[in-house]
Chain A
């Protein structure tokens, strides 16, 4: 078992003929993901790598392929439109890899997608992988291994680091999800924790956060109130200078500066094991699952 994607995932790739889109489509197919179609306006009727049919619109692609998930690699100025097009075509799960989507665009995309009942992951995220089953996005397949630990993270390469250390220590994963680091994203920590709690195969969860905002603090409370499975966490940015990323006004709204110390304290108070270093995640997991 796994969350969000598995063997039955039928994937569409928006921006399949672009530089990043084509490279990662090949990687996903190689990993075993069922890529059923691609979308590039103007290239409808062609085939990607002589195999995958390309369509002009998402609506047409969904009708012809029965895709239930889409991954978006289009450039930032077109990403908002791509996410909305996917939601309007009724795709239940939309993964947006694109980095650099203007945040004001996201204030419009988020309610649009939500009202149509789709789940959005990202933007500016590495996607997700259910090892041995399906990979959607850019997480390198070979650092993962099937197992019973779920992982959710705001970061890209730091996720790879932690997964790599887990795999080296023979701790496999049900699903690794990168939710992305943008101020407005579709899926948050709590959505993933909730899904992992309900997934029978997942026995423990790793949560990797970073400075800024209050998502990790709220997630920690969720762990105490709603979860039975053990959760361990790491926060990046313990030495980051304050006020350099989101500025201070965000802190005024939330009533919190979003420092690493504050988040680690919230972890501790709510029974989430706190890793001081990425490698400590491994020992904490071993202890939690004993």
Chain B
């Protein structure tokens, strides 16, 4: 789960990381009032779950409260990577002497949380990794002991030479590790970590991603979810316990299991079609999930054909068949439907479909070809 910069900053502050004050505005008037309160030049930053905010015009300076009002009005009209900006963070502008990057993520290869530190902060860290990889220092943390002081110092010496700054940065790194591990993070980043002309260190930005598997046991963190900042169809899918990602094609896909769902999308493409989505109904199938899946897919106007690909294991194919029949009764389909279904309770499923005038195929390739042909109004490749 993504959380906003201002939310990540609130968490980081709790752990003692020095962060300049800031307040959230949802209207230009609020932004003006906050800027007046700070009484200095402010930065206005779009709060949106997308990278590259700066380049998209979502981060701007304002010298006066009036300017803050105008700038906030502009930013609140922006749509960044498909997501409309609905909140801005207003924070006093800081004088910057240097910018560094520090971040921590869970790394598959070392099976540990790994810190990354770079003196080349303020820009996209992927760019640094690609162009100047020696400017990134990595360090895997032993989860039993956490980030020890000497480890934090090693990382901090990579960023600063002044011992006071090194000690301050090391402390921030330890605080960041605690914030990350005590809140179920899968990523926590400060970019930039700045020094001011007076030599102070502060976090000017904050980013945190929470492992979705942590949310059940952390209701306070789960409550940070901002549904208005997410794609509408993806919100509905999550509520129905489906994994859904919208794409640009016209063959709607309903599949059980992520691997099979991806393989189905690949086959759609192989036979000359374009998938409209990734949709995994997951392991245990209740008919309600299928109803929700069809509702989400049919709300996409690009969809010209719908393909079910179900391989029953834990998933009972009769549950899926019942879901399809119920969904169609509630909302007759306007586009053709191709069903491929095999596995657990297949005979019962076929009988349920037959009673409603539907049929199913058992071969995946044949089903995909048929769906592609129907969507393109021609023949599959």
Contact B213 A100, beta carbon cutoff 8 Å = yes
User: In the complex, A159 Cα to B213 Cα: how many Å?
Assistant: 24
**28 cross-chain CB contacts under 8 A:** A20-B314, A102-B214, A103-B186, A107-B106, A107-B143, A108-B143, A138-B314, A140-B313, A140-B344, A158-B259, A158-B260, A158-B263, A159-B259, A161-B263, A164-B342, A183-B106, A208-B259, A239-B266, A247-B186, A249-B116, A250-B105, A252-B125, A252-B126, A253-B116, A254-B107, A278-B267, A279-B364, A279-B365
A286 in contact (CB, < 8 A) = no
For residues 103 through 154 of chain A, which have their beta carbon under 8 Å from a beta carbon of chain B?
103-104, 106-108, 110-111, 126, 138-140, 143, 153-154
Number of B residues contacting the other chain (C-beta, 8 Å)?
A: 61
Contact B365 A236, beta carbon cutoff 8 Å = no
Leading 3 A-B pairs by shortest Cβ distance: A155-B259, A157-B257, A158-B259
User: Which chain B residue shows the least CB distance to A79?
Assistant: B213
B157 in contact (CB, < 8 A) = no
User: In the complex, A277 Cα to B259 Cα: how many Å?
Assistant: 13
Residues of B within 8 A of A210 (CB): 258-259, 262
B174, chain A: closest CB distance, angstroms: 17
B284, chain A: closest CB distance, angstroms: 8
Residues of B within 8 A of A139 (CB): 313
Contact B187 A77, beta carbon cutoff 8 Å = no
User: In the complex, A139 Cα to B344 Cα: how many Å?
Assistant: 11
Residues of B within 8 A of A249 (CB): 103, 105, 116, 125, 187, 189
Residues of B within 8 A of A228 (CB): none
Residues of A within 8 A of B355 (CB): none
Contact B365 A153, beta carbon cutoff 8 Å = no
Number of A residues contacting the other chain (C-beta, 8 Å)?
A: 62
Residues of A within 8 A of B107 (CB): 250, 253-254
User: Which chain A residue shows the least CB distance to B187?
Assistant: A249
Contact A126 B269, beta carbon cutoff 8 Å = no
A-B contact count (CB 8 A): 168
User: In the complex, A76 Cα to B215 Cα: how many Å?
Assistant: 11
Encode B303-337 as 1/0 by CB contact (under 8 A) with A.
Answer: 00000000111110000000000000000000000
B245 in contact (CB, < 8 A) = yes
Residues of B within 8 A of A154 (CB): 259
Residues of A within 8 A of B275 (CB): 239
User: In the complex, A279 Cα to B213 Cα: how many Å?
Assistant: 34
B265 in contact (CB, < 8 A) = yes
A47 in contact (CB, < 8 A) = no
Contact B112 A107, beta carbon cutoff 8 Å = yes
Contact A240 B278, beta carbon cutoff 8 Å = yes
User: Which chain B residue shows the least CB distance to A124?
Assistant: B213
Residues of B within 8 A of A253 (CB): 105, 107, 109, 114, 116, 138
B261, chain A: closest CB distance, angstroms: 8
User: In the complex, A11 Cα to B283 Cα: how many Å?
Assistant: 23
A184 in contact (CB, < 8 A) = yes
Contact B108 A184, beta carbon cutoff 8 Å = yes
B121, chain A: closest CB distance, angstroms: 14
